[in-house]
Structure 1
């Protein structure tokens, strides 16, 4: 099967705004999880989140767009601008470009603001932009409009798995003849309304100490921390002329997806097997796994069992950089893809946040403490979404077979 090149990156994450800022913090094991300060969480059972600091939409977008968009869309538009510039694409390169994005929650903050206006001031005070600003597909639409894109558009809703599904679809679009695909996922549910939507999930951590709240594969694991942000990527066919840089960040080699609501380990294993088959690779060709890292004992045991079934115990290093950011839902998989691509470039695997050491019961070689030197050329990225969604993506370093 033909692969595809990743030629541009745009990242907005709790540990950094911009790909290089995110990567520097990730390599250092910096923590982006902290007490929520976007609204008052006094009395709330969950008080921590991975929130993005240092992002003012007025620094990046015109006022007319800010007035009609939720924070997640402002993130997505800005990250797209960065990815397009990074890839060296001109407006005429985007005219026929396709778009493939993911979202799980939609514009919760915008929706809350408009519902408050409705009940406090009446229907005449509800913005006409409410008709689309809340919608999970709005990022794809606004990116297309801003960049005058007229190619096919796709949107995936698979919670944490959706971001990898969107990138996998970008690979299929390139194989079908697309010259440029804008892809990835972006989330922000950091408002009282959005935050409340997480509280019914028993897997959300209730821990109030940021450095103890999200410890995947640890004996102290107590759940996950929700976060905001994500990544947008530019994908082009192999052989595309270099425009923005001397070499691409890496290659998309294969994608697999599976649905299994009853057996999360089996679903994840099946998705990984399909991704390797799509890439025409065997487990022995994989140099590292970027884990979904659910953060509860049940989820982590299921993922560790899938990794062991595919590779054997302790047979391949496992990275879990999202332990520093929280789970970003549709944005989490794309950010892990960025981490893997920059790991290829710099020859290191990032640590799993504040996890001191993995519980031996998991039987995995988790990267902890500090970045680990790594000469790898192929990586497997895994993601699971609530309800049974599973997705896996195989990446190769530039020039990797």
Structure 2
């Protein structure tokens, strides 16, 4: 990669969102700015036998844009990805006539694959025998299936891949997509989706021991609070179209933001005397973006909802920015943590923040029992510095950060 290519900041020209708080960008952003929460008791299955019963569930999804041929071969997370991809490309103004197939790449992230699809096929295996198991099970559960299905749907023959890194995965996917644009791929569709809302997926999620068992939707997910007892899972995610800025300029595309910096790494093993990686990763992302801490207008926090992890995040932000020196928000308290979809949704929210110059609040903050060291955004706030930092951490120490810069 030449030095000139290494300075290219891909433009975000299209966004597609499927979240518990909205399955269009307009609905999602309106509800996010209003601080609305979609966390409630699970309706997809009976959660009463389990220790946790709350989730951020998408309840108004219409799969009709998908053909009858696609529905039998896709998990619900893939269906969300497919419909969102249509919206993202439409938002970017990209049609098949505008490009060669080899000009479009796809990079997605997944944490669990198709849990719901896999459970249904396992139930058939146990109850009816192997002849009744769908042949689509061979790929419908797989982590890379969203990349493959999106590439097929849109005739994308450019460089494509998948990243598996839990909540940090979709930030890593954006980092990979940025490298592809810098290396010459004009367009990359990137993001992540997950859904664990089936009994099998739910049990696997609860096994980690960090899911909130509260039955009060307004108090269940309270990152950074003294009463934090875990996070609430959610489903969904987002996709963005990353485009070479010269191409976007030449066709007069709307640009929400630019991807300016990226860094990733791992926490040390448990028991190590080394500090957590987050502060180091933040500094690396800022250096990659060529910005200083004072040039960041908002941080989209990882907001684990686990006391020790929250303390580590506060300490990292204090170390890099100084205590109470940068606005921090966590819209995910209204959707739940979406695993691989969570970072992608925060990327979309950051791009919308930069485009609208408005920072969204952290839903449910009025129920926090005490103030924190963070300048947590309680109500929509004007963005005064046009750059955003998005943070994400996953199981086993995955840690990533992305810096977005405003287009204006």
TM-score per shorter chain, which class? over 0.9
Please say if 1:382 is aligned against 2:391.
yes
Superposition RMSD on alpha carbons, in Å?
Answer: 1.7
Q: TM-score, normalised by structure 2?
A: 0.94
Structure 1, gaps ≥5 residues long: none
Per-residue CA deviation, residues 313-335 of structure 1 (Å, 9 max, x unaligned), is 00100011101100001110111
Partner residue, 1:63: 68
Per-residue CA deviation, residues 52-71 of structure 1 (Å, 9 max, x unaligned), is 011021x2200101110000
Q: 1:186 Cα deviation (Å)?
A: 0.6
Q: 1:247 Cα deviation (Å)?
A: 2.3
Q: TM-score, normalised by structure 1?
A: 0.96
Please give the alpha-carbon distance, in whole angstroms, between the structure 2 residues aligned to 1:241 and 1:161.
27
Q: Which moved more, 1:261-270 or 1:310-319?
A: 261-270
Inter-CA distance 79–269: structure 2 relative to 1 (3 Å threshold): same
Partner residue, 1:54: 60
Is 1:349–1:373's contact at 8 Å kept on the other side of the alignment?
yes
Please give the alpha-carbon distance, in whole angstroms, between the structure 1 residues aligned to 2:340 and 2:252.
27
Inter-CA distance 54–160: structure 2 relative to 1 (3 Å threshold): same
Please say if 1:194 is aligned against 2:201.
yes
Please give the alpha-carbon distance, in whole angstroms, between the structure 2 residues aligned to 1:313 and 1:195.
37
Please give the alpha-carbon distance, in whole angstroms, between the structure 2 residues aligned to 1:94 and 1:373.
40
Is 1:15–1:21's contact at 8 Å kept on the other side of the alignment?
yes
Partner residue, 1:135: 142
Partner residue, 2:341: 331
Q: 1:375 Cα deviation (Å)?
A: 2.6
Per-residue CA deviation, residues 59-116 of structure 1 (Å, 9 max, x unaligned), is 2200101110000000011100100111111114261111111000000000000011
SS at match of 2:390: strand
Q: Which residues in structure 2 correspond to 1:95-106 (within 5 Å)?
A: 95-96=101-102, 97-106=104-113
Is 1:89–1:243's contact at 8 Å kept on the other side of the alignment?
no
Please say if 1:3 is aligned against 2:9.
yes
Please give the alpha-carbon distance, in whole angstroms, between the structure 1 residues aligned to 2:75 and 2:317.
37
SS at match of 1:183: strand
Q: Which residues in structure 2 correspond to 1:81-120 (within 5 Å)?
A: 81-92=86-97, 93=99, 95-96=101-102, 97-120=104-127
Q: 1:151 Cα deviation (Å)?
A: 1.0
Q: 1:283 Cα deviation (Å)?
A: 1.2
Structure 2, gaps ≥5 residues long: 1-6
Partner residue, 1:45: 51
Partner residue, 1:208: 215
Please say if 1:31 is aligned against 2:31.
no
Is 1:88–1:244's contact at 8 Å kept on the other side of the alignment?
no
Q: 1:359 Cα deviation (Å)?
A: 7.2
SS at match of 1:193: helix
State the number of aligned residues: 397
Partner residue, 1:76: 81
Per-residue CA deviation, residues 220-279 of structure 1 (Å, 9 max, x unaligned), is 212100110000110001111459975211100010001114479631112211111111
SS at match of 2:258: strand
SS at match of 2:317: helix
Q: 1:122 Cα deviation (Å)?
A: 1.1
Inter-CA distance 240–276: structure 2 relative to 1 (3 Å threshold): same
